[in-house]
Every structure is written in structure tokens, then in C-alpha cells.
């Protein structure tokens, strides 16, 4: 690889739409990468591998993710346990969750030149809420305050494959991840397949709007990593990142 | 192995819960009464009196106030303590609080025919969040699912009068209450005055578009109460005659 001259050029932060107009002119140096995909799709494994590789290459990496706001996450967990939360309330909780992470963690990190890797982003709550009957336009608008990531990978895994992976992990299906609250089927297995299929359809609908990059998650860990890593490498080269000594 | 598409044909989307049918037009649908106005306008006093009165008349009444959902309140207080609430986070936490009360109480109770009394409704968010710098269209969208009240009483008051009522005898104002996060002024009382003034401007701009019933909040408490009661009696009678 040839050594590229580091231009020191700063990128303007990208905003999906209105919302946070007061952050529109912030200059950033870092990059923002998102990994989306259902439970057991291999997200955390891939994030670990990407993080290790980027750090070995000399980049500073920080993680964010769904339900990781210091301010809101405990509240979401408690609310889920103690109260039956409404569908809209849930969507708004996750919006607050990301608003806190974006403004108090992601933007400061991007300013400082970090690579931020988020384990799921606004797309999961949009898909989940939409399947539960909340109007899509309302959801897109609600989350329009969010900053636009540089790359969003969606790990696409066949529902039957997914269920086998879940069983390998913990021998049982999770209530929410199976969409049991939707009352699609009395059978949790059926419910899981149908719910995951409905979510997959929602992600398909978002693909072009949010430039999601589909990754075939049915392949083995290394093949999936290879696909993601190549794309990240290409992007970082284009992004005028300094090439590090290996 | 069974192919995925045997399931694909199942119409999962038919399960969408539809709130679209107009329950509001039903005769046995409840009544939503809202009071709005800046701090110190006396609206809470007025709605408490309405609450007593309607209960005495043996109506099923439910009273709800801004920022009171148990699950969200704690988060908001924590954020206030740590002073890490940006306008968007602030706005979303209030929106979550509202949605929680709406989905849990307000909407189901209205469907059951209750009179719901709301001390502040979506107009508070439209006014405050806009002043804090959120995009107005965005805030309007966040609340666009909320049912339109049968009546919104707007307690109109000169800023100085309201501000005097709040700050007299108080050595200190709270950070967010005074709008210190807006960086208008280093002096919190000065900041509070300007903040309340801007919220008033927002309220005033909504009088016609949102169909507010304006109450002169400088009048005697009893007189204001009588005017609001007259309006409510009219709504109750209309409902009866259907």
C-alpha cells in the first residue's frame, strides 16, 4: 500500500434532516460505522474483530449501541420490567437513548478523531416500531435528529439459520426478539420466524433511504469479516486517513 | 427444510393495530380539557378547582400533569442533576413522558368516557422546545398522534406579573427552569424573564391556529373559574344532546 499524505482535511458532520440544527456546522475528523442485524446475526463478533483490527492499525475506536446511553438505558430496562410500555413510548425511549449517545458521546468522539462503531443504530427501533404498527413517516421524522453514519452494514441472515444460531447460543427464544407481544402466533417458533421476516422487510424498505450495505450473514465468521473489512479499508483510504506503519 | 417463503405469504402486517377509526366522534367518548400558560399564570390553581367541581358533580375524572410519568421522571431528574440535557434530549424525554401517559392513561380513559384534565399538553412542548432551538416541524411531528382537545384554556398574563409570582421569596431558580441552558444571560433572573417572554411569544402565535380559549389571568380567581366552568358546561351539554 502506498503511503498517502494526510491532508488534515476536516469533514462536515452529516445530518439526515432537521432536528439538531445546532450541530449542523460541527467539524469532525473521525468516522462513524454502524453494524445492524438481528440477534445472533453475529454483530458482536464482527464488532470485536473490526475493533481489534482498527486498533492494531493505529486507529482509536469507541463503541456505542442500542440501549447504551448512560442516562436512559437503566430507565428503559426498569420500565420494561416494571411497567407494560406502550409501543410509541418505547420508540421515544430509544430516540432519547440515541440522542444522548449522539450528543454526549458520538459527536465529541468524532470531533476528537475517533472511529465510532455502533452496535445497532436508529434503524432497529424504526423497524421494530414499524412492525408494531407505528407510522413509518412518523418514525423517520422522529429519528431525523440523528447524524448520518459513514457506513451502515446490515447482516442479513436467513430466519431459519438465525433460529438455529439462537438455539446454539441459549437453547430458548427471547420473548421480545420473537415478537410474542405482537400476538402473531401462539407458537413461539412460528412467531420468531414471522417476526424476524417482518423486520427483514422493514430493513429492505430502509435500504436505499439510509444507504444500508447488505452483508450476507449466512456465511462463516471470517468470510463475513472479509466482506466488511474490505469495505471499511476502502472507505478509510478514501477518507484521507493517514496510512499507518504495519 | 421448509422454505422461507411458506411463511412469507402470511400477512403479518394485517396485525397492525389501527387507531384510525374515529372513536372521537362517538357519543360515549370522553372529554379532554387542557390548560396552558407560562409558570405563574395560575392555570394549575384553575384546573385543580375544575377537578374538584367535576368530581362533585360525579363525573369520572382523570387528572394528568406534565412530566409526571413515573418511569421517565427519574431519568429527567438525573439528566437535570448532571446538566447533560441538550435541547433534543430534553425534548425527547418530555415526549417519552407524554407518550407514556397518553398510551397508558389519557387515550384509554377517553375511550372509556372519562373527562381528562391535562395540566399542560402538547402545546407546552411546541412552545418550549422551539424556544430551546428544536425544529418546530420536527416537534410537531413528534406529537402529531395526540388527539385534539375539546378545549384548550390559555391563561394569558403579562410576563412581569407571572415572573413576580414565581420569583418573589425565592433566592434561587433551578438551572433549566431559568432557561440557563440557553445561555441568554449570566443572571438567572434575567434569563428566566427572557425565557418566559419567548415562551409567551410562542403561545401567542398559537392562539388562532390551535384554537385556544383565552382567559385573562389577571382577573380574580373566582371570576376565571366561572368563565372556564361556563365553557365546560357548554361542552357537557353538547355531548349530552349529541
Establish if B43 belongs to a structural domain. yes
Q: What is the pLDDT of residue B19?
A: 45
Q: How far is CA B237 from CA A20, B18, B28, B225, B226, in A?
A: 46, 30, 13, 18, 16
pLDDT along chain A (246 residues), means of 10: 42 51 74 95 96 95 95 80 82 96 93 95 97 96 93 95 89 85 89 94 96 96 96 84 64
B9 within a domain of the structure (yes/no): no
Chain B, nearest residue to A133 by Cα: B16
- Give the residue-averaged pLDDT of B140-162: 96
- Cβ of A87 and B103 within 8 Å? yes
The model's pLDDT over B39-85, given as tens digits with 9 standing for 90+, comes to 999 999 999 999 999 999 999 999 999 999 887 888 888 888 887 88
Domain ranges of chain A: 11-235
In the predicted structure, residue B6 carries a pLDDT above the cut 80? no
pLDDT of residue B171: 82
Q: In chain B, what residues touch A103 (CB-CB under 8 Å)?
A: 86, 88-89
**Topology of domain A11-235, CATH:** Rossmann fold (3.40.50)
Spatial separation of the C-alpha atoms in residues A29 and A12, rounded to whole Å: 9
Best CA proximity match to A103, nearest among A180, A19, A45: A19
Residue B204 banded pLDDT, cuts 50, 70, 90: very high
Does B67 contact chain A (CB < 8 Å)? Answer: no
Q: Name the more confident of B207 and A26.
A: B207
Do A88 and B18 lie within an 8 Å CB cutoff? no
| Boundaries of domain holding B200 | 28-241
B 126-145 near A (Cβ less than 8 A): 133-135, 137-138, 141-142, 144-145
Partners of B61 in beta bridges: B115
The C-alpha cell 397508558 sits at B104
B99 to A86: CB separation less than 8 angstroms, yes or no: yes
CA–CA dist A15, A3 (Å, integer):
31
Q: Do B17 and A133 touch (CB under 8 A)?
A: yes
- What are the CA-CA distances from residue A171 to residues A114, A174, A195 (Å)? 38, 10, 19
Mean pLDDT, all residues of chain B: 89
Query: What's the CA gap between A130 and B144, in Å, rounded?
Result: 16
Distance CA B210, CA B151 (A): 10
Q: What gap in Å lies between CA B69 and CA B76, rounded to an integer?
A: 10
- For residue B7, being part of any structural domain is answered with no
- Determine the pLDDT at residue B11: 39
Partner residue opposite A89 with nearest CB, options B84, B99, B133: B99
The proportion of chain B whose per-residue pLDDT surpasses 70, expressed as a percent, equals: 89
Q: Is A71 within 8 Å of B95 when comparing Cβ atoms?
A: no
Spatial CB neighbours of B152, under 8 Å, sequence gap ≥ 6: B34, B35, B36, B121, B123, B210, B211, B212, B213
Tell me the CATH number at B59: 3.40.50.300
Q: How far is B115 from B55, CA to CA, in rounded Å?
A: 10
Number of domains composing chain B: 1
Whether residue A22 and residue B89 make contact (CB cut-off 8 A), yes or no, is: no
Amino acid at each position: 500500500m502506498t503511503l498517502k499524505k494526510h491532508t488534515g482535511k476536516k469533514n462536515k458532520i452529516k445530518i439526515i434532516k432537521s432536528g439538531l440544527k445546532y450541530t449542523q456546522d460541527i467539524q469532525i475528523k473521525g468516522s462513524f460505522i454502524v453494524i445492524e442485524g438481528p440477534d445472533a446475526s453475529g454483530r458482536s463478533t464482527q464488532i470485536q474483530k473490526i475493533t481489534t483490527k482498527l486498533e492494531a492499525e493505529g486507529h482509536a475506536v469507541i463503541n456505542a449501541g442500542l440501549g447504551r446511553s448512560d442516562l436512559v438505558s437503566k430507565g428503559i430496562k426498569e420500565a420494561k420490567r416494571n411497567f407494560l410500555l406502550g409501543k410509541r413510548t418505547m420508540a421515544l425511549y430509544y430516540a432519547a437513548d440515541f440522542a444522548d449517545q449522539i450528543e454526549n458521546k458520538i459527536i465529541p468522539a468524532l470531533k476528537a478523531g475517533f472511529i465510532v462503531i455502533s452496535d445497532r443504530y436508529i434503524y432497529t427501533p424504526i423497524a421494530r416500531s414499524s412492525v408494531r404498527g407505528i407510522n413509518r413517516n412518523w418514525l423517520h421524522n422522529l429519528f431525523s435528529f440523528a447524524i448520518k453514519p459513514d457506513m451502515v452494514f446490515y447482516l442479513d441472515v436467513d430466519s431459519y439459520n438465525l433460529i438455529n444460531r439462537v438455539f446454539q447460543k441459549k437453547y430458548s427464544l427471547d420473548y421480545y426478539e420473537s415478537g410474542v407481544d405482537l400476538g402473531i402466533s401462539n407458537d413461539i417458533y412460528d412467531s420468531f420466524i414471522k417476526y424476524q421476516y417482518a423486520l427483514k422487510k422493514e430493513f429492505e424498505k430502509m435500504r436505499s433511504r439510509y444507504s444500508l450495505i447488505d452483508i450476507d450473514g449466512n456465511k462463516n465468521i471470517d468470510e463475513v469479516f472479509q466482506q466488511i473489512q474490505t469495505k471499511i479499508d476502502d472507505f478509510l483510504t478514501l477518507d484521507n486517513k493517514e496510512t499507518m506503519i504495519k | 427444510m421448509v422454505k422461507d417463503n411458506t411463511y412469507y405469504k402470511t400477512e403479518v402486517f394485517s396485525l397492525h393495530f389501527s387507531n384510525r377509526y374515529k372513536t372521537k366522534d362517538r357519543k360515549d367518548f370522553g372529554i379532554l380539557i387542557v390548560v396552558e400558560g407560562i409558570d405563574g399564570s395560575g392555570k394549575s390553581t384553575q384546573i385543580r378547582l375544575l377537578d374538584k367541581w367535576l368530581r362533585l358533580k360525579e363525573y369520572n375524572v382523570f387528572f394528568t400533569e406534565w412530566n409526571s410519568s413515573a418511569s421517565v421522571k427519574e431519568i429527567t431528574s438525573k439528566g437535570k442533576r448532571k446538566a447533560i440535557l441538550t435541547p433534543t434530549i430534553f425534548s425527547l424525554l418530555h415526549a417519552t413522558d407524554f407518550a407514556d401517559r397518553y398510551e397508558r392513561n389519557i387515550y384509554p380513559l377517553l375511550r372509556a368516557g372519562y373527562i381528562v384534565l391535562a395540566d399542560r399538553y402538547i402545546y407546552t412542548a411546541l412552545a418550549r422546545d422551539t424556544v430551546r432551538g428544536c425544529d418546530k416541524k420536527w416537534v410537531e411531528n413528534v406529537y402529531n398522534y395526540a388527539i385534539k382537545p375539546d378545549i384548550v384554556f390559555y391563561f394569558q398574563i403579562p410576563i412581569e406579573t407571572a415572573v413576580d409570582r414565581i420569583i418573589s421569596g425565592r433566592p434561587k431558580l433551578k438551572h433549566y427552569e431559568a432557561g440557563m441552558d440557553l445561555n441568554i444571560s449570566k443572571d438567572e433572573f434575567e434569563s428566566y424573564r427572557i425565557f418566559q417572554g419567548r415562551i409567551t411569544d410562542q403561545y401567542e402565535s398559537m392562539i388562532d391556529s390551535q384554537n385556544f380559549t383565552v382567559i385573562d389571568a389577571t382577573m380574580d380567581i373566582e371570576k376565571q373559574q366561572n368563565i372556564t366552568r361556563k365553557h365546560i358546561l357548554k361542552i357537557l351539554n353538547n355531548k349530552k344532546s349529541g
